[in-house]
Amino acid sequence: MSENLIIFNARIVTPIGFTARRGAEMSQLRIIENGTVEVTDGIITYVGENRGESRDGYYQNYWHYNARGHCVLPGFVDSHTHFVFGGERSEEFSWRLKGESYMSIMQRGGGIASTVKATRALNFLKLRSAAEGFLKKMSAMGVTTVEGKSGYGLDRDTELLQLKVMRSLNNSEHKRVDIVSTFLGAHALPEEYKGRGDEYIDFLIDEMLPLIRKDDLAECCDVFCEKGVFSVEQSRRLLSAAKEEGFLLKLHADEIVSFGGAELAAELGALSADHLLQASDAGIRAMAEAGVVATLLPLTAFALKEPYARGREMIDAGCAVALATDLNPGSCFSGSIPLTIALACIYMNLSIEETITALTLNGAAALNRAHRIGSIEVGKQGDFVVLNSDNYHVLPYYIGMNSVAMTIKEGVLYPVN
Ligand code: NIG
Ligand code: FE
């Protein structure tokens, strides 16, 4: 669904351009006081100074919305989530509070394997309705595009089911959030393949990649490249095959230990390397040189009580940094955009301007969408966030609280109450 819309009297705040912003470019925002944005059939057709509109309402074929000086930003892009899953893992959370580690729970058969069990037990409709609930919450925090991963099936049918749920939600008439799907069959080794990691990778390469490609069920392929999960060599083999099949590449990289994931992302020309809590200096340099988006997920570090990724150093080294939530039932059961923003500013020492770029244009670049979304430019999709303030500094200041008054998707207004 798309609309014709004119937003006037806005304080327009946006990163600039159609590609990822790297290093010092991340802090350069375009700000237009008393600005107007025009959206025609869902696409931006004018951005600039006010042109004389002064009345709310529908006339001359456009909805007219008086922003009363409030900030209008591009819609937020949450470029790393796992929002399609069954069950929950609150008990595990309590075990972690008592000191058990994420990896030790995984190694004794909990963690991802427990969500796999719960997800395999659900049918299409149940899985879809649980996932749809998350999309509504995301939209209320200003998200207009989200990436979603499979990875809780780890068998042919359930992996396909997760991807089909995302396709169905993405095709729905009244969707508030666009979905970019990622195949994460290499999220963990399923019980059936215990001790046979290489064979599981063969199965993903020989059976799953061609099937998913044939039905166009995912644009990206991801892997949990981590000590005790999938090795660098297994990750390289899978991702190289995926690249040949036409997938764009992502990695869960250097999350728990420094493992060479960032370096591998650079070597393979991945769209993004994600997590990066333990990324090495060489890995950071390699990502900057190769133009790999460094996607940081501070809510996960917070929830796991791990040190935050070195966001400040990455930007200073010339990386394009994106921020995302990592919403998932295990390591981070939160899709909170406000808290992501606060943690990025407080603990990663990103400026508010860099944080805005990370959550919009660079998130878009991490999904190969920087030409279509992520900044307010003529020709891009009419996806916006209207804040409840004329001052964008409220974004990190409202710690964990929402400062979004309205989310606009392809010109359609969705007030947040
Ligand atoms: O991004 N690290 C691997 N995958 C997820 C967690 C998945 C889970 O625990 O269910 C992550 O943190
Ligand atoms: Fe993740």
Please check the confidence at residue 327 and state whether its pLDDT lies above 90: yes
Please report the pLDDT score of residue 157 as a whole number.
Answer: 98
Residue range 65-70: mean pLDDT, rounded? 98
Q: Are 308 and 278 in contact (CB under 8 A)?
A: no
pTM, rounded to two decimals: 0.98
Q: Whose alpha carbon is nearest atom 3 of ligand 1?
A: 224
The number of the ligand nearest the C-alpha atom of 229 reads: 1
Please give the single-letter amino acid code of residue 200: Y
Residue 308 labelled as part of a binding site:
no
What distance in angstroms lies between residue 249's CA and the mean position of ligand 2's atoms? 14
- CATH fold group of domain 74-364: TIM Barrel (3.20.20)
Print the SS3 string covering the chain: CCCCEEEEEEEEEECCCCCCCCHHHHHCCEEEEEEEEEEECCEEEEEEECCCCCCCEEECCEEEEECCCCEEEECEEECCCCCCCCCCCHHHHHHHHCCCCHHHHHHCCCCHHHHHHHHHCCCHHHHHHHHHHHHHHHHHCCEEEEEEECCCCCCHHHHHHHHHHHHHHHCCCCCCCEEEEEEEEECCCCHHHCCCHHHHHHHHHHHHHHHHHHCCCCCEEEEEECCCCECHHHHHHHHHHHHHHCCEEEEEECCCCCCCHHHHHHHHCCCEEEECCCCCHHHHHHHHHHCCEEEECHHHHHHHCCCCCCHHHHHHCCCCEEECCCCCCCCCCCCCHHHHHHHHHHHCCCCHHHHHHHHCHHHHHCCCCCCCCCCCCCCCECCEEEECCCCCCHHHHCCCCCCEEEEEECCEEEECC
List, for residues 245-288, the tens digit of each pLDDT value. 999 999 999 999 999 999 999 999 999 999 999 999 999 999 99
Domain spans of the chain?
Answer: 3-73+373-413, 74-364
Fold: same for 3-73+373-413 and 74-364: no
What distance in angstroms lies between residue 330's CA and the mean position of ligand 1's atoms? 6
Residue range 23-37: mean pLDDT, rounded? 98
Please check the confidence at residue 417 and state whether its pLDDT lies above 90: no
List, for residues 219-243, the tens digit of each pLDDT value. 999 999 999 999 999 999 999 999 9
Which residues are CB-neighbours of 334 under 8 A, at least 6 positions away?
Answer: 299, 303, 325, 327
The pLDDT mean for the chain works out to 98
- Ligand 1 atom index nearest CA of 111: 9
Residue 330 labelled as part of a binding site:
yes
Q: Whose alpha carbon is nearest atom 9 of ligand 1?
A: 330
Which residues are CB-neighbours of 36 under 8 A, at least 6 positions away?
Answer: 6, 7, 8, 9, 10, 46, 47, 48, 49, 50, 51, 53
Backbone angles phi, psi at 401, to 5 degrees: -110, 150
Residue 128 labelled as part of a binding site:
no
- Ligand 1 atom index nearest CA of 112: 10
Residues with CB under 6 A from ligand 1: 82, 111-112, 115, 224, 252, 255, 300, 326, 328-332
Please report the pLDDT score of residue 342 as a whole number.
Answer: 98
Residue 326 labelled as part of a binding site:
yes
List, for residues 179-209, the tens digit of each pLDDT value. 999 999 999 999 999 999 999 999 999 999 9
Q: Whose alpha carbon is nearest atom 5 of ligand 1?
A: 331
- CATH fold group of domain 3-73+373-413: Urease, subunit C; domain 1 (2.30.40)
Residue range 130-155: mean pLDDT, rounded? 98
Residue range 82-108: mean pLDDT, rounded? 95
